[in-house]
């Protein structure tokens, strides 16, 4: 089993019982801190997590919410340290991390729960195995007794993480109504879950619209939505690259692996309609790969098909992120799940700050060097 999953799964399942994490035995002596202790604390009724990072006689503090803590554990805690002691009410788990492998030793203790143990609101919102979400059974992600179907585990991880990131963005929001568009929704696991998350778990009146080319899939999704009385969840057969889609006010655009330029048209829709939030996980970036030729500073990367493909994908997403930035979005490019759950694991997480008319000249000049045209750049160029 994956090393970090073992720990983050324990953290999730222990939830409020976790009292302290102690990371020690630094793997790389050059790493900034010799030891890190993490403890939960309450802020405005919410459980947050404080990192105490020890360097010599100094202590540096950092406060994180639960998803950020999990990310830190995965990217730093489990990488930079070889020992972790997890102390929880009633239990203690010792992890030893070596050469990508983990040893886990749990023992029961009589340690009582500590007050105040505020309920972790974030955790309530997440889709836990065993949770009664019948639509996920119909869609084939959960078994009838709400266990994850083995072959759907990676997809489950993806949608769970997607919703966690959205939860981060909307936790402080007092919106009572939201409209969300999902471009290239396919079997619509994410679309259903977003609807469930906002309407059932957050009590928001959500309208969630999914667009896809496939008639049979769209019909099935509408049928399942109808079966559960999900009135605000609707699916449409559309080619998002050519069709005119929903023109009303939109609060969020999402894409999860929408093929090739379908992602560009989703981003274009967001830019045109000044959509405040965009969560986009691109996929199969063929457009640049099909046209690219030497002429820029990185011609070396075009000598091998594999490198060219990866370079083209990175160039595509870098250009998309830049266009969004120039249009006034704050853009984070993040790995939204581990590579093992999807090699297409890069997400553009975007929040509109101040809409701007973009100056695309630098991006256009870069693309010109490689002899390529890029849909988002061209289409946004036509707007101004």
Ligand X SMILES: C[S@@+](CC[C@H](N)C(=O)[O-])C[C@H]1O[C@@H](n2cnc3c(N)ncnc32)[C@H](O)[C@@H]1O
Instruction: Give the side-chain half-sphere CA count within 13 A for 65.
Output: 15
Query: In angstroms, what is the minimal distance from the CB of 13 to ligand X?
Result: 26
Q: Please identify which residue in 258, 315, 321, 360 interacts with ligand X, judged by CB under 6 A.
A: 258
Query: In angstroms, what is the minimal distance from the CB of 193 to ligand X?
Result: 11
Nearest CB to ligand X, comparing residues 242 and 354:
242
Q: Please identify which residue in 93, 141, 178, 262 interacts with ligand X, judged by CB under 6 A.
A: 262
Angle separating helix axes 305-326 and 375-383, nearest 10 degrees = 20
Residue 154 in contact with ligand X, rule: CB under 6 A: no
Residue 224 in contact with ligand X, rule: CB under 6 A: no
Query: In angstroms, what is the minimal distance from the CB of 24 to ligand X?
Result: 39
Residue 186 in contact with ligand X, rule: CB under 6 A: yes
**Alpha-helical runs (H) found in the chain:** 3-14, 66-72, 78-80, 121-125, 134-138, 153-170, 189-195, 215-227, 262-272, 286-291, 305-326, 361-369, 375-383
Query: In angstroms, what is the minimal distance from the CB of 210 to ligand X?
Result: 8
Query: Please, is 196 exposed, middle or buried when counting C-beta atoms within 10 Å of its C-beta (0-12, 13-18, 19+)?
Result: buried
Nearest CB to ligand X, comparing residues 36 and 240:
240
Task: Render 172-205 in DSSP notation, one character per residue.
Answer: T---SEEEEEEET-TT-HHHHHHHIIIIIIS--E
CA distance 255 to 276: 15
β-strand partners of 257: none
Nearest CB to ligand X, comparing residues 73 and 283:
283
Residue 257 in contact with ligand X, rule: CB under 6 A: yes
Q: Please identify which residue in 125, 156, 211, 311 interacts with ligand X, judged by CB under 6 A.
A: 211
Tell me the site size for ligand X, rule CB under 6 A.
20
Residue with tokens 């991880």: 157
From 112-120, 140-148, 254-262, 294-302, give the range in contact with ligand X by CB under 6 A.
Answer: 254-262
Residue 185 in contact with ligand X, rule: CB under 6 A: yes
Query: In angstroms, what is the minimal distance from the CB of 322 to ligand X?
Result: 23
CA distance 210 to 223: 13
Enumerate residues 270-289 that contact ligand X by CB under 6 A: 283
β-strand partners of 24: 83
Which stretches of the chain bind ligand X, using CB under 6 A?
184-187, 189-190, 211-214, 238-241, 256-259, 262, 283
């Amino acid at each position: 089993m994956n090393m970090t999953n073992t720990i983050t799964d324990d953290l999730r399942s222990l939830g409020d019982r976790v009292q302290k994490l102690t990371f020690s035995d630094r793997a790389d002596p050059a790493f900034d801190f010799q030891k890190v202790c993490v403890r939960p604390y309450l802020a405005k009724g919410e459980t947050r997590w404080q990192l105490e990072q020890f360097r010599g006689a100094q202590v540096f503090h950092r406060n994180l919410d639960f998803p950020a803590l999990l990310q830190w554990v995965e990217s730093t805690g489990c990488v930079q340290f070889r020992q972790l002691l997890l102390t929880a009410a009633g239990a203690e788990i010792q992890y030893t991390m070596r050469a990508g492998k983990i040893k886990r030793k749990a023992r029961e203790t009589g340690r009582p729960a500590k007050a105040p143990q505020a309920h972790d609101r974030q955790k309530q919102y997440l889709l836990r195995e065993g949770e009664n979400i019948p639509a996920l059974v119909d869609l084939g992600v959960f078994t009838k007794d709400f266990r994850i179907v083995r072959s759907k585990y990676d997809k489950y991880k993806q949608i769970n993480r997607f919703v966690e990131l959205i939860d981060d963005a909307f936790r402080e929001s007092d919106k009572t109504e939201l409209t969300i568009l999902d471009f290239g929704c396919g079997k619509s696991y994410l679309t259903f879950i977003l609807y469930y998350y906002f309407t059932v778990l957050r009590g928001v009146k959500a309208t969630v619209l999914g667009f896809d080319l496939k008639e049979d899939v769209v019909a099935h999704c509408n049928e399942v939505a109808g079966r559960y009385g999900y009135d605000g969840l609707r699916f449409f057969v559309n080619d998002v690259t050519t069709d005119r889609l929903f023109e009303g006010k939109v609060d969020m655009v999402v894409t999860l692996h929408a093929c090739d330029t379908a992602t560009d048209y989703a981003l274009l829709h967001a830019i045109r309609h000044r959509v405040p939030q965009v969560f986009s996980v691109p996929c199969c970036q063929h457009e640049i790969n099909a046209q690219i030729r030497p002429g820029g500073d990185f011609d070396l990367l075009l000598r091998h098909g594999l490198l060219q493909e990866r370079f083209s994908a990175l160039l595509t997403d870098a250009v998309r992120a830049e266009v969004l930035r120039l249009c006034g979005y704050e853009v984070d490019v993040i790995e939204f799940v581990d590579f093992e759950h999807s090699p297409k694991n890069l997400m553009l997480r975007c929040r509109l700050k101040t809409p701007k008319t973009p100056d695309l000249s630098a991006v256009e000049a870069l693309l010109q060097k490689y002899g390529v045209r890029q849909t988002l750049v061209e289409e946004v160029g036509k707007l101004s």
